Structure 1
Amino acid sequence: MTDAGAVPAWRKRTAGESRLAATGAVVGMVVLQVVLPAEFRPQPTWAWPAVEALLLVVLLVANPVRINREETWLRAVSLGLTGLLGLATIWSVALLVRGLIDGTLSDEPMKLLGSGLAVWLTNVVVFALGYWEFDRGGPAARAHAREPLPDFLFVQMQSPHLASRDWEPEFMDYFYLAFTNAAAFSPTDVMPMSRWAKAAMLVQSAISLVLAALVVARAINVLK
């Protein structure tokens, strides 16, 4: 059991979160963009992944190991990268939905399901990055304990005696949040506290629901 008056680790200054998991997620998104069929990618198809990779390299060079530097330009680059990934995802969703509605997409069910799954995964990853970037001001602000009130309430915050003394939310926790929200279309064990968090989860669930309904329905019709 923890002391009643003890300050939990997630509200203390820390050394900062490792960049490894978030970097892997960004690399995975860029790869998904590259392997998607051209009709589901923003044009020019090479430019978006190239710019995203360049911004990622800038972040790695400036803050390679732990995310603990609070600088305006660094924050702008990080948010710019997340924004580009988000725009590319929205573009892919729009192209996929339009093609399904007007019937211009290929009648190959495996291609439809594969492309739909790839777009669904980018939806999960980009919202995970968004939750991670904005909860309590972002990873660097969390390392310096700038914001005491969380935008997302994790189980470990409610029951600190069930977690290690040094527990604090990291990228994998936000990825889990984004995945379960996209799969269940609602919160599971992580509760949104602020209005922007609720709005973001609502939008993600709506996108996931549209993708699942349209892609699966079209693939079933093609198989018939």
Structure 2
Amino acid sequence: MVLSEIIKLQHVHKSFGAHIVLNNVSFQVNAGEIVGLIGPSGAGKSTIIKIILGMEQADQGVATVFNTQMPNRKLLNNIGYMAQSDALYTSLTARENLAFFAQMNNLTQNQTAEIDRVASVVDLTSDLNTRVQDFSGGMKRRLSLAIALLGQPDLLVLDEPTVGIDPALRQKIWQELARLRDNGQAILVTTHVMEEAELTDRVALLLGGDLIANDTPHALEAAYQVTSIEQVFLKAEEQQS
């Protein structure tokens, strides 16, 4: 089956001053797959996300989402985005935050049911009426993820979504991501948790602004003659140094 390309980067280059952040990066995320974007801090992962969302512009190359160059406000309703830092209204309750973002995304039908659904996924049902200012850091991450999941958007872009989340809930979240993937949604996720990278359909490994690997976890493990993505990561770093 030919999968439609939801995200497509072609020969993308980005520098900040003399520092090259992305060097001729090309890859895609297709409908119905989860792509894990991994690499050390400063490798360029967040810059890729910002270019995809239209928050930064590439110096060279082309980046498209739904065959359209970003920024494009009309497309934002089709994208669920979770940033590394939580952008929440702390004086509001969790439910009020979810209702606000649902309205922003023009999600008017069955809003209450959808809020209850995403709250259940991230285990916040009993905390919906609590003000976010009283949330722990982990609870804020879970609420940010719930906001990204609202309306089951065609594309999910999740930047370190499970930081501060316990293993049992992390497993539940990945089960939900797999369900969304099986329903045809495209998911791009960055993670430092190598066990999570094993759960993706394809791993894109960034080192020093270069995309040095882009394949299934099993294929990468075979190519590097190791038994885990963590070992792939360590061996790739060693070879690049």
TM-score range, shorter chain: under 0.3
Structure of greater Rg: 1
State the TM-score, normalized to the length of structure 2: 0.25
- Greater fraction strand: 2
